[in-house]
Amino acid sequence: MTAPLTPSGSDNTPPIAPMRAFERTHHGVTASDPYDWMKDRRDPELIAYLEAENAYAAARTAHLAPLREQLFTEIKGRVQESDLSVPVGDGPWWYYSRTIEGQQYAIHARSPRVKGEPRPDIEAGRTLPGEQILLDGNQAAAGHEFFAVGALTVSADHRYLAAAIDLEGDERFAVTVTEIESGHVVDAAIAGAGYGLQFDASGRYLFHIALDDAWRPHQVWRHEIGTLADRDVLVYQEDDERFWMGIGGSRDDRFLMIGVGSKTTSETWLLPADDPLGAWRCVAPRREGIEYDIEVDGDRLLIVHNTHNPEADLAAAPLTSTDPADWVPVLASGPGERFLDIDTFEAYAVLSLRAQGLPTLRVLPRDPGSPTGFGDPIDWPAGGDLNTVALAENPELDAPVLTVVEESFVVPRSTYDVDPLTGARALVKRQPVLGGYDPGDYVESREWVRAGDGTAIPVSVVRRADVVADGTAPALLTGYGAYEIPNDPYFSVARLSLLDRGLVYVVAHVRGGGEMGRGWYDDGKLERKRNTFTDFVAVADAVRGRWADPARLACEGGSAGGLLIGAVLNLAPDRFRFAHAKVPFVDALTSMLDPDLPLTVGEWEEWGNPLGDAAAYEVMASYAPYDNVGRTDYPAILATTSLHDTRVLVTEPAKWIAKLRTHATNDSTTRPILLHTEMSAGHGGRSGRYDAWHEIAWDWAVLLDQLGVG
């Protein structure tokens, strides 16, 4: 055992965490873990260590206070602080949210609507006539350091609002039901719920999700409004620990839906919304490796599924079907496509898909004379090279136009009302960016880099227009690469503060993500996980000397992307000047060996089961960042985390930083290793918008300082 925790002092001495003898043996392999004692996030000694690390980080970055304030002021100065979202028409109401200058959280509200009337004009800072406030986040958050809304659900008759609120950051929600007209809380019986709330057709019952001890949503309960929780009725329980679940409703409001899924297999259950006490019906029993999503389409179901094609196809089946043998092909995905989801409307259906590495939409016009019920598909008009296109909220089946959102790295989020059959469109709102922002001052482009095995890796490059590819600019390389989650183009006001200082922002769309479809994901998971890391290094090598000054290249990733950063730093520490790992999953092997931890069992299909499979253990042990920290020069490192994170426990970055302190051979005066923990936050960091901007400013001040940019 080492000496007790050494706190930082005026000489900026880094904290040294105690080391305690601990060994684990699996598959004949014994590994030492001297920081295993950190596994209890409530341990006062761990809290003391985190506080000491915070003090050290504060001391090492105290000189950056003016830069932090400047960055915060820039971000705040570009935001329309008093603003109004695009109102969404649903029955007799327009639903929207608005923000007020100086207030941290949104106000959720509605105002009366006559169906068929034009959408109200959106004017920043105003309220709509006859406004009724559903939830004022500022009032609900009063007296709390953290506040997050997990769900806001209105009953079909628009009488009740069910709200799920988290005041800790641990993603367990207290649920209240309010009578909107009177503002009277009629129910507050449900506590500790997971994500997802759904009323029945009458508004008498509310269905909610319960979590097990490992934070896995595993039960659906029916709650009668106004009664105690001990009278709730269990309607579904999932005993297979690989599976998670969600609760929702069909677009036409006729059915309640329970979706159950692992990383590779799914199952859907239906219940008529007007028969809340009835029996749920399984659309198709789970089959290992088969995933499907459904939408109710009149007297039939539309089903996106991967039964015969890993990139998924679209099928139809009778509404009452319970057998996949009933599924009739409607549309097959083509080369370079990945079907994702289907939404139905009176005159058409809209398919969400990925095509050539980007998200887009495809319209299927109704044609009663066609065997499939649809005419020839209409592809969404091609936008910029890096456009992200998605459906906005469209709750009404008979809406004359479709509301769609588009954005890119340089074009702010834009909402359009579109006639999907003719392509006619009207801009409803573009995210305001104050200070004279001109998209023409910036350039975004798609490039391709060859990985070691010859695979072409897509790379997004964003820069100010006057930055040229001469290898002299500072640059930030980011990535994710897990869970088939794509790292799609999105606009960020905050990112402008980097671009305006001459940084080149680069996204490596590495394998393991979903950018190029299911095959892209499969090629970066389980025994092929190493591809994720070598792809990132290949992109770093291509960027160095072309866009980036080799001495001023930084990298960044969060959560599973933090695992990417940790693994890459062990693999190629000399490629980077600075690394930021956000809520990083860096002790992956230890976590996957403990089935009692949140997420573990369900993650075995992503990473492998090192507890029961020696080969999986060997693969994970070969790349897990914590286990592979070496005695070598590392770049400057900042790890940021939150005490109440239940997805990646604070233990992981704490152990990683502690081990780096004893192994890294670089000069800590010029390349410090820092850990900063938010003591009142969860996986997403601080919750208030001003707090979040301060958090970004803190992180980016460290980045800019390390790259020599003021």
Active site residues: 559, 645, 683
Q: How far apart are CA 99 and CA 106, in angstroms?
A: 5
To the nearest 10 degrees (0 to 180), the angle between helices 530-543 and 614-623 is: 20
DSSP 8-state secondary structure symbol assigned to residue 120: P
Q: Which two tokens stand for residue 549?
A: 């000054």
Q: In Å, how far are 59, 68, 96, 110, 613 from 672, measured between CA atoms?
A: 12, 18, 45, 50, 38
Range list of β-strands (E), 535-672: 548-558, 578-582, 636-642
Q: How far apart are CA 385 and CA 408, in angstroms?
A: 9
Q: How far apart are the first and last CA of the chain?
A: 42
Q: How far apart are CA 132 and CA 40, in angstroms?
A: 45
Sign of the dihedral defined by the CA atoms of residues 209, 210, 212, 214, in that order: positive
Answer whether 484's CB lies under 8 Å from 513's CB: yes
Q: What angle do CA 472, 476, 477 make, to 5 degrees?
A: 115
Conformation bin of residue 583: beta by default, left when phi > 0, alpha when psi is -120 to 50: left
- The neighbouring-strand residues paired with 505 are 462, 476
Which among 541, 536, 545 is positioned nearest to 566, based on CA atoms?
536
Residues 6+ apart with CB under 8 A from 29: 617, 621
Q: What is the residue type of 450?
A: R
Q: How far apart are CA 505 and CA 422, in angstroms?
A: 37
Which among 445, 410, 446, 417 is positioned nearest to 431, based on CA atoms?
410
Q: Which two tokens stand for residue 240?
A: 């297979």
Residue with tokens 């007799």: 92
Residues 6+ apart with CB under 8 A from 451: 457, 531, 534, 535, 538
Answer whether 122's CB lies under 8 Å from 162's CB: no
How many other C-beta atoms lie within 10 A of the C-beta of residue 109?
22
Conformation bin of residue 13: beta by default, left when phi > 0, alpha when psi is -120 to 50: beta
Decide: residue 26, CB within 10 A, 0-12 exposed, 13-18 middle, 19+ buried.
middle
Q: In Å, how far are 94, 318, 373 from 328, measured between CA atoms?
A: 38, 9, 12
For 316, how many CA atoms within 13 A lie in the half-sphere containing its CB?
14
Give the torsion through C-alpha atoms of 331, 357, 415, 495, to 10 deg.
Answer: 160
